[in-house]
Amino acid sequence: VLSSWNEESIDFNGCPSSWNGIMCNGGNVAGVVLDHLSLSADVDLNVFANLTKLVKLSISNNSISGKFPSKIGEMVAFFDVSNNLFNSSLPDDVGKVASLR
């Protein structure tokens, strides 16, 4: 699925809608859905903080590890990282974000 993520497919005028797993809304990245892809990486989820219109981040059922940003609950409305290898707990504030699903 990530084979579509290459230099030739980059759209510098907006959202890379041709990339598998990327959802766009008005030229902005609105969702990243990379579930069940056997992905294995140590990921810094802070990279998603630059996607200011991101509402959905779902990377469940992979072998992804790393740490959660302290403000992850403020970054997205839907967040699923279940069944991965993360080595830190979710920040306490995540449970206080009423809009998080």
Residue-wise pLDDT for 26-66, tens only, equals: 888 899 999 999 999 998 888 888 888 989 999 999 999 98
Quick one: tokens of 64? 């992804």
Residue 30 near residue 52, CB atoms below 8 Å = no
The residue ranking higher by pLDDT, 83 or 8, is: 83
Asked if 14 and 42 count as a contact pair (C-beta separation under 8 A), the reply is no
Cβ atoms of residues 68 and 45 within 8 Å: yes
DSSP state at residue 34: -
* pTM of the shown model: 0.79
How high is the pLDDT of residue 26?
84
Domains, the chain, ordered by start: 2-96 (3.80.10.10)
CB atoms within 10 A of CB 20: 13
**pLDDT above 90: residue 99:** no
- Residues 11, 62: Cα–Cα separation, whole Å: 27
